[in-house]
Chain A
Amino acid sequence: MTSYLIRAASVLGGERTDLYLADGVIAALGPDAAAAAPRGDGGSAVEVVEIDASTLIALPGLVDLHTHLREPGREDAETVASGTRAAAVGGFTCVHAMANTDPVADTAGVVEQVWRLGQDAGWAQVRPVGAVTVGLRGEQLAELGAMADSAAAVRVFSDDGMCVHDPVLMRRALEYVKAFDGVVAQHAQEPRLTAGALMHEGVVSAALGLTGWPAVAEEAIIARDVLLAEHVGSRVHICHLSTAGSVDIIRWAKARGIDVTAEVTPHHLVLTDEAVRGYDPQFKVNPPLRTAADVAAVRAGLADGTIDIVATDHAPHPDEDKDCEFAAAAMGMTGLETALSVVVEAMVNNPDHDFGWADVARTMSAAPAAIGRVSEQGRPLEVGEPANLVLVDPEATWTVDPPALRTASSNTPFAQRELPARVVATFWRGAATVLDGAPREALRERAGAGA
């Protein structure tokens, strides 16, 4: 088994220290680390790889609460293996696989299948998300308890892609998951107000003649759901919050003591509906890109803690679903490999906000792990903790080249954009999934050989 001696990494952007990773945990820190590592004199069976991290920052491995891995059903867009490999390259050690697959992840069988595919792939921990309702149809609760009790140990339930719009059904779901400490993650979209909607409703949609997706369709559902959660004493999580009004409602709810958490996507932190003016379907996403005022509001909400986490909503689509007219195109963008860089651009390097690397660790690792009840992720980088961490070069810049990304699809909205910060290495359970910025394919072979 290989162990790693990481030299002079800046932990959360703070003091530089050495870390020694062995047996899946952080075995030693600081001056003890080098001493703990066996000498490379051939006398030991343990191979020690030393990494110079004197220009790098160490963060706990990133945790994504909102990933579409597409398998089973749309393996032409992504597989569990390709998606988790992309996740590792993006610095993630854990992803939550959304339930809108085909078949839908609404039974213990499907969630266990996805969980096993993740185990076999070996790139990151895969935590399946269970559907709230059978077939995402919004009519009848799925067997949430069976999914919770399965090997996949599901704790996050979501009909993402669809809104649980029936208030009674939403109430029942919120109540029911309390039995196993689950959480309902709501895709907040009032369906009647968004029939046929293609982009944010406002000045740009009026000019382009594209049917609008009004902010109120998101805000009305969030307002209802925080009140429902308060009424039944449940926690609720809001997916990909995108409007200034939504931030205000969450801020109000938290002040009132309601147990609500909220996420924002990287793309909603930097892109606006102006990007749609060229009718390029790469900018078609749900919820849609909003206005500059909304972008400012979600950034402020993330900075002040109103919004708890950044989640990618990584939504790969094959070329044919984007290489067409806007109305016909699929909604969604890839995000696993650009998320960290986009957050650095929008927040860390942004003098308007007091948002440091510790905040990155909080919003992209500790908080999402806590919401998903993933005990071994999002831990502080301390002795004895699981060796899930990522090394980031904060000074590097790179240009997004869609074919070069590891995801199986190329629908990134950031093509040809120069972004700051680069993931140099990712360690999951003590093993390097990424070194020198490249995924370690050997891992897969080993996993395959061991299967």
Chain B
Amino acid sequence: MRHLLSAGDLSRAEAVEILDTTSTMAATQSREIKKLPALRGLTVVNLFFEDSTRTRISFEAAAKRLSADVINFSAKGSSVSKGESLKDTALTLAAMGADAVVIRHQASGAPHRLATSGWIRTPVVNAGDGMHQHPTQALLDAFTMRRHLVGGGEGGDGVGEDLTGAKVVIVGDVLHSRVARSNVDLLHTLGAHVTLVAPPTLLPVGVDTWPCAVSYDLDASIADVRPDAIMMLRVQRERMSSAGGGFFPSPMEYSRRYGLDGTRLAALPEHCVVMHPGPMNRGLEISAKAADSPRSTIVEQVANGVAVRMAVLYLLLAGGTPTEGSR
């Protein structure tokens, strides 16, 4: 693995290796001293062209707990209008001696450009690009699911296992969601069965070619699929307005048809976990009752996010093919 650009690039073995490494990293995070020296002397740059305090802090914590130096580079709003800035920024980072770049960008494919244009030679981690991919989110979701649905093994994290046979329902704005794309790719690789549920306006043309089922009816999906995990995607209220695309008539109608309320929560199988990548719109795609229920993994997902990002940074920066180390 040279870069992490898309969850779709990962083989099953690579994905399981990341999840297993995450498990080791997560174990170190319950220690008194959480810091590991693995990346001492290396510099990780967080290059954020789009605001996301949560994701930036998660990557920053991950890098720092591996003893890397972290430079936060916020370039919000400087990109699409003046596209050359991505190249210039990359050249600047290369000159500053960055060892890895974590990039968040509103333009789909920007991390891919950064990794493949020859502007910079370091590993690139995609921290979310436009409507394309958010691979570390999918990895932390898969890690969370594996811990709850598979379990066993060292630390109860299902080490060495994939998600074969797990049934996952993903609900909401698939069209604009990089989280949905990454999850469909990764969960399919790991052997899970995914059903996307959304109003037809919020599904992309071409979704029928994705390795998953598609439904417009949440109640029927809960009843028919009997999911092991249900993931509610964030829906932006402005998608309703005609300026925002007019994708649905009103928040009320959306939440009646596609929100996870108390009734639907009760209809889920006993063991089904409730997930959300955050930040939540309580009362729109998810009710407070569902978000705060004991089966919600939403807070745990945040904690797992740090461990996943530690694993990814570790494998990209220290990784290589396994060989005998010198004794």
Chain A directly contacts chain B within the complex, with at least one CB pair under 8 Å: yes
Which of A's residues lie within 8 Å of B, judged by CB?
201-212, 214, 278-279, 320-321, 323-329
In angstroms, how far is the closest chain B Cβ from the Cβ of A343? 30
Contact A279 B206 (CB under 8 A): no
Q: Of B81, B82, B83, B178, which is within 8 A of A209 by CB?
A: B178
- Nearest A-chain residue to B245, judged by Cβ: A195
In angstroms, how far is the closest chain A Cβ from the Cβ of B101? 14
Contact B109 A208 (CB under 8 A): yes
Contact B109 A325 (CB under 8 A): yes
Residues of A within 8 A of B117 (CB): 323
Contact A201 B107 (CB under 8 A): no
Q: Of A202, A278, A323, A327, which is within 8 A of B206 by CB?
A: A202
Contact B108 A206 (CB under 8 A): no
Residues of B within 8 A of A207 (CB): 8, 181, 206
Taking the complex as formed, is B100 at the interface, i.e. its CB lies under 8 A from any CB of chain A? Answer: no
Cβ-closest 8 pairs across A and B:
A328-B83, A324-B83, A209-B132, A279-B109, A209-B131, A206-B206, A327-B107, A206-B204
- Nearest B-chain residue to A328, judged by Cβ: B83
Contact B205 A279 (CB under 8 A): no
Taking the complex as formed, is B56 at the interface, i.e. its CB lies under 8 A from any CB of chain A? Answer: no
Task: Report Cα–Cα, A19/B113, bound state, in Å.
Answer: 52
In angstroms, how far is the closest chain A Cβ from the Cβ of B305? 21
Residues of B within 8 A of A204 (CB): 206
- Nearest A-chain residue to B8, judged by Cβ: A207
In angstroms, how far is the closest chain A Cβ from the Cβ of B152? 34
- Nearest B-chain residue to A276, judged by Cβ: B109
Centre residue among A201, A204, A209 by max chain B CB count within 10 A = A209
Taking the complex as formed, is B267 at the interface, i.e. its CB lies under 8 A from any CB of chain A? Answer: no
Contact B206 A203 (CB under 8 A): yes
In angstroms, how far is the closest chain B Cβ from the Cβ of A390? 37
Residues of A within 8 A of B110 (CB): 325-327
In angstroms, how far is the closest chain A Cβ from the Cβ of B268? 28
Contact A209 B181 (CB under 8 A): yes
Contact B205 A201 (CB under 8 A): yes
In angstroms, how far is the closest chain B Cβ from the Cβ of A282? 12
Contact A324 B86 (CB under 8 A): yes
Contact B205 A202 (CB under 8 A): yes
Contact B109 A326 (CB under 8 A): yes
In angstroms, how far is the closest chain A Cβ from the Cβ of B215? 17
In angstroms, how far is the closest chain A Cβ from the Cβ of B110? 4
Residues of B within 8 A of A208 (CB): 108-109, 132
Centre residue among B81, B84, B87, B113 by max chain A CB count within 10 A = B113
Task: Report Cα–Cα, A324/B119, bound state, in Å.
Answer: 10
In angstroms, how far is the closest chain A Cβ from the Cβ of B74? 17
- Nearest A-chain residue to B175, judged by Cβ: A206
Q: What are 14 sample pairs from A and B whose C-beta atoms fall under 8 A apart?
A: A201-B206, A203-B206, A206-B209, A209-B130, A209-B131, A323-B87, A324-B84, A325-B83, A325-B113, A327-B106, A327-B108, A327-B130, A328-B82, A328-B86
Contact B209 A328 (CB under 8 A): no
- Known contacts A207-B206, A325-B110, A328-B82; 9 additional CB pairs below 8 A are A206-B204, A206-B207, A207-B181, A279-B108, A320-B83, A323-B84, A324-B87, A326-B107, A326-B108
Question: Given A327-B130, A328-B79, do A210 and B109 touch, yes or no (CB 8 Å)?
Answer: yes
Contact A325 B107 (CB under 8 A): yes
Task: Report Cα–Cα, A326/B107, bound state, in Å.
Answer: 7
Provide the B215-246 mask, 1 if CB < 8 A to any CB of A, else 0.
00000000000000000000000000000000
Taking the complex as formed, is B157 at the interface, i.e. its CB lies under 8 A from any CB of chain A? Answer: no
Contact B210 A206 (CB under 8 A): yes
Within 8 A of A (CB), among B115-129: 116-117, 129
Residues of A within 8 A of B131 (CB): 209-211
Q: Of B8, B84, B205, which is within 8 A of A205 by CB?
A: B205
Task: Report Cα–Cα, A278/B111, bound state, in Å.
Answer: 11
Task: Report Cα–Cα, A192/B274, bound state, in Å.
Answer: 38
Q: Of A201, A323, A328, which is within 8 A of B80 by CB?
A: A328
In angstroms, how far is the closest chain A Cβ from the Cβ of B279? 20
Question: Given A204-B206, A279-B113, A324-B83, do A210 and B181 touch, yes or no (CB 8 Å)?
Answer: no
Contact B206 A205 (CB under 8 A): yes
In angstroms, how far is the closest chain A Cβ from the Cβ of B241? 14
- Nearest B-chain residue to A214, judged by Cβ: B205
Task: Report Cα–Cα, A207/B109, bound state, in Å.
Answer: 11
- Nearest A-chain residue to B184, judged by Cβ: A207
Residues of B within 8 A of A325 (CB): 79-80, 83, 86, 105, 107, 109-110, 113
In angstroms, how far is the closest chain B Cβ from the Cβ of A410? 15
Taking the complex as formed, is B133 at the interface, i.e. its CB lies under 8 A from any CB of chain A? Answer: yes
Taking the complex as formed, is B35 at the interface, i.e. its CB lies under 8 A from any CB of chain A? Answer: no
Residues of A within 8 A of B130 (CB): 209-210, 327
Task: Report Cα–Cα, A320/B79, bound state, in Å.
Answer: 13
Taking the complex as formed, is B112 at the interface, i.e. its CB lies under 8 A from any CB of chain A? Answer: yes
In angstroms, how far is the closest chain B Cβ from the Cβ of A318? 10
Task: Report Cα–Cα, A214/B205, bound state, in Å.
Answer: 9
Provide the B88-114 mask, 1 if CB < 8 A to any CB of A, else 0.
000000000000000001111110110
Residues of A within 8 A of B204 (CB): 205-206, 212
Task: Report Cα–Cα, A208/B109, bound state, in Å.
Answer: 7
Within 8 A of A (CB), among B161-204: 178, 181, 204
Question: Given A278-B116, A327-B107, A327-B108, do A320 and B206 touch, yes or no (CB 8 Å)?
Answer: no
Task: Report Cα–Cα, A204/B72, bound state, in Å.
Answer: 33
Contact B108 A210 (CB under 8 A): yes
Task: Report Cα–Cα, A325/B87, bound state, in Å.
Answer: 9
Centre residue among B80, B84, B107, B132 by max chain A CB count within 10 A = B107
Residues of A within 8 A of B129 (CB): 209
Q: Of A202, A320, A326, which is within 8 A of B84 by CB?
A: A320
